[in-house]
Amino acid sequence: MPQNSPAGETRTALVRRARRINRVLAETYPDARCELDFDNPFELLVVTVLSAQTTDRRVNAVRPTLFAAYPDAAAMAAADRDHLEQIVGPLGFFRAKTESLLKLSAALVEHHGGEVPGRLDDLVKLPGVGRKTANVVLGNAFDVPGITVDTHFGRLVRRFGWTEQTDPVKVEHEIGALFPKRDWTMLSHHLIWHGRRRCHARTPACGACPVARWCPSYGEGPTDPEESALLVRTEGRA
């Protein structure tokens, strides 16, 4: 069992506690969803790739211009590099991101007829697409259950004592074993929303946490309700 799980917690108790936390987070964040705007699988794949090392809000701001100019994989694969760099410039690392989009789009055209595949094995073979990005696309564009292990998700599952793993693939598998497959996508949203709004990396708002009673890491942040309330964000920033 993870070292920060409650003393003497059995596997059955861990599963029950984990599912209780997820249920409460679902009630706390009834609007939880992917915070990247998209209209189709191609858009979601592209904006997820662009979201690395920047905020969803910034990606959403450039999205209309980007897809007005390059609405599909064929158009983006043939894009003028300088123009594409100009569009994604506000996101930082614009040269690397432009290169990623050109290679990704070309691969979609060459190997998948310009369409985004709906299988994990196919997605992770695309340039710049790892399991995290693939699971975002599968869960939110194809309704295929997937666990998105981003920095928020990984931080929270360790604070909750659900796992000690730090490798994202091992985290994905260990956490997946605690929940029915049908819950995986929304579980990811619940934890990511909680991580962005309350359970912050440096100073979690423990005194304003709806799952504090089941969290073995309670007290890492301030426990005073008024002090904690000042830390709560009404929307995500990452």
Residues involved in catalysis? 132, 150
In angstroms, what CA-CA distances link 51 with 35, 108, 150, 227?
Answer: 11, 19, 11, 31
CA distance 163 to 191: 14
CA distance 144 to 134: 10
Q: How far apart are the first and last CA of the chain?
A: 31
Exposed/middle/buried for residue 220 (C-beta within 10 Å: 0-12, 13-18, 19+): middle
Assess contact for 91 and 54: CB atoms under 8 A. Answer: yes
